[in-house]
Amino acid sequence: MGNVVVKEKVDFSEEVNLRHFNLLRSVGRGSFGKVRIVERRDTKKLYALKYISKAECIRMEALTNVFRERDILEDVDHPFVCNLRFAFQDEEYMYMVIDLMMGGDLRFHITRRRFIENVIRFWIAEMACAIRYLHSQGIVHR
């Protein structure tokens, strides 16, 4: 997937689609999807765009899991959870626009350096709050 260049004016009153975003850098890759940082054209707000190949999803018999993820993300709203902001599709991909959480993942940071106890306490408190919220919504993470 390359950069999207839109010459014509984008109508932001229509249903959200890929043309509403400037595609920035790639930040991740999964079994059948990728994640990029995107910027919404009208607000300049940054998000993470997860795009999933429909063909790969079908080939790997993962449609149920992807739909479950989308349904769960649609229902949650918490500051320590990546919340779903938009979802749409085209012929080739399903797209989920979620909150961008900058700073990398915990595994990355653990391999790079040691942390002081207060930082670790803070992170554990954030995770505990997020997990408590998810459990209150009937969601259990694997």
State the binding site for ATP. Answer: 50
Give the tokens for residue 14.
Answer: 């229509």
Q: List own/partner pairs for 67-72 with CB under 8 A and 24 or more apart.
A: 69/96, 70/94, 70/96, 72/139
CB 48 within 8 A of CB 105: no
- Alpha helices (runs of H) in 11-105, residue ranges in sequence order: 54-59, 63-75
Binding-site residues sit at: 50
10 membership: H or E segment, kind and range? none
